[in-house]
Amino acid sequence: MLLRNHGLSLVTVYEKGYSFNEIMSEVQFTDLVSLKCYAPELTEDQIANDGLDKNLWGRNAKTNAEIFNENFPDYEALAAEGKAHELFDTTDIDVESLVNYITWREGKRPIKTNDSKNYLPDHQLSAARKILAVAQHTGGKYPQRKKPSNFGRMYYSGTSVQNVNKKLRAAMLGNSWEYDIRSCAIAFKMGSAAEWVQKNQPTSTVDREFFYSVWYLDDKADFFGSVQTAVFGDDCDLTEQKQLDLLKEAFTSLSFGARKNAKSWYSENGKEEKPALVGIFSDEDELERFIADPYVSGFIKEQQNLDKYLFDSVKADSPELMALPYLRTKSRVTGKLKATDVSEPKLGRVTKSKVVSYRFQHGETTVMNIVRASLPITHQPPLANIHDAIVLRNRLSPDEKAEIERCMRDQTGNPYWRLGENEVKRWVSDNDPSEVL
């Protein structure tokens, strides 16, 4: 943080990731960093064919089969029995687009020489090559093993459409349309706002008691614009888009329970941990102005009221959930354990943030099931499922989109569900389509 404030940043973010959707950020060193990675020397054949990745281009049928069988050893047997769909979701891959992405990604890597020792693995490139090899073997299909979470979401094991970055996802899927739930966590919690008002302020209204949250959902651009003016000064060296990206990340973190005033805290092993907001705002003055902004304070208070209401509702209506081990902390160990003590660690208190996250993710899954069930037959099945989003090959008409949103609201009783729409462009050359368009 101090280095950045003095114009001495050692890294820049190339592709932003988020902890709550399990996508890691990719960073690049600035010119102030000189890196040497002491790895074995590459042979001429390895340099020419990109080393150990040389067979992941999808050009070698034998190697493609080996890669497929290594990653999906039971798939073909399950498919023969008609049971593959029970354990796998399958995505159609735009092979030509993916090859173009690989060519572009390869061109952005440092040129390797026979005596170079600064090679670092490119995980997105390796993932792209594995997907390509599998797709070449299967005729354009990429299976993803289902990995259901106790919290309600469906994840996938290994490399999947969920955990690659947006550029690779676009390369995989090709021309398509992504539909996501706008401000999903906040929209979900606002579904309980009317009940909160009826119980706590029966003479008031949702619009009055949750003014900032409603404003956020109805006109996020206007809401962000008001906060942006207060947080970032005229001398801020960030672009306007970067400022908005930081605000989006900050409010998303707040909706997931990030604390407003905490600077840092210490874990059981004595390691200092930083809360989400400190990690987002590297400039201390910007963080302080964000925390002090009355719009932010109002938004936080409203979200805390909803969090407490959801938590209390679970305690009253579903007390059995409070005994689930993954909703409780692990007890602190205050004394030394004996060598013969092999008992399981005792569970601690129920965590409000975990309970709210549990309710949210189950609610998210419920409404996304409604979305998929409401799709016109011409749009089924989706190309990909990404927690609070689906990707379709063709665009929904305005009437089709409106009908799906009506089903979302009517079947859940939540009037705040809305679908965002984003066009995805395939890679038609080795140029980044987001830079060309």
Residue 106: in which H helix or E strand, if any? helix 95-107
Asked if 185 and 256 count as a contact pair (C-beta separation under 8 A), the reply is yes
Q: Contact 56/47 with Cβ under 8 angstroms?
A: no
Taken in order 397, 399, 404, 409, the sign of the CA dihedral is: positive
CA distances in angstroms from 328 to 252, 323, 349, listed in the order given: 23, 8, 5
- Per-residue pLDDT, averaged over 7-11, amounts to 59
CB 170 within 8 A of CB 427: yes
- Cβ contacts of residue 382 below 8 Å, gap of 6+? 372, 375, 390, 391, 392
392 with 422: CB under 8 angstroms?
no
Our measurement of the distance from residue 153's CA atom to the centroid of its chain's CA atoms, rounded to an integer in Å, reads 12
Res 429: pLDDT: 81
Q: Give the mean model confidence (pLDDT) for residues 199-216.
A: 97
pLDDT of residue 326: 87
Contact, 169 vs 400, CB < 8 A? Answer: no
Q: Read off the pLDDT of residues 150-181 as tens digits, 9 standing for 90 and up.
A: 999 999 999 999 999 999 999 999 999 999 99
What is the three-state SS of 325-361?
Answer: HHHEEECCCCCCCCCCCCCCCCEEEECHHHHHHHHHH
Among the listed residues 257, 266, 237, 342, the one whose alpha carbon sits nearest the alpha carbon of residue 308: 257
- Residue 261: both structure tokens together: 């005033």
The whole-number pLDDT of residue 263 equals 56
Q: How far is CA 76 from the centre of its chain?
A: 30
Burial letters 6-43, b for 16+ CB under 10 A, else e: eeebeeeeeebeeeeeebeeeeeeeeeeeeeeeeeebe
- Residue 181 · residue 187 · CB < 8 Å: yes
Q: Mean pLDDT lowest for which of 60-64, 159-163, 367-371?
A: 60-64
Predicted confidence band of residue 422 (pLDDT cuts 50, 70, 90): very high
Helix or strand or coil: residue 141? strand
Please report the pLDDT score of residue 272 as a whole number: 54
Letter for the amino acid at 266?
Answer: Y
Q: In what order do the strands lie in the sheet with 176-181?
A: 384-385, 389-392, 176-181, 419-424
Question: How confident is the model at residue 162, as a pLDDT?
Answer: 94
Q: How confident is the model at residue 257 (pLDDT cuts 50, 70, 90)?
A: confident
In the predicted structure, residue 334 carries a pLDDT above the cut 50: no
Q: How many helices (H) and strands (E) does the chain have?
A: 20, 13
Structure tokens at 54: 């040389």
> Is the confidence at residue 343, as pLDDT, over 60?
no
Q: pLDDT > 90: what percent of the chain?
A: 59
Residues 6+ apart with CB under 8 A from 419: 179, 180, 181, 182, 371, 401, 404, 405, 408
CB 396, CB 179: distance < 8 Å: yes
pLDDT of residue 253: 85
Q: Residue 262 has which token pair?
A: 């905490």
Return the HEC string of 350-397: ECHHHHHHHHHHHHHHHHHHHHHHHCCHHHCCCCEECCCEEEECCCCC
Taking the C-alpha atoms of residue 31 and residue 271, their distance in angstroms, rounded to an integer, is 31
**Alpha-carbon span 360 to 189, nearest angstrom:** 8
Q: Which of 193, 196, 165, 208 is nearest to 386 (CA)?
A: 165
Give me the pLDDT at residue 36, please. 44
Report residue 261's pLDDT band, with 50, 70 and 90 as the boundaries.
low
- Show the tokens assigned to 245: 């990206």
Which is nearest to 363 in space by CA: 407, 414, 316? 414
Give phi and psi for 107, each to the nearest 5: -70, -20
Question: Encoding tokens for residue 260?
Answer: 């407003």
Question: How far is the C-alpha of 213 from the C-alpha of 298, rounded, in Å?
Answer: 9
Residue type (1 letter), 323: A
For residues 42-58, average pLDDT:
42
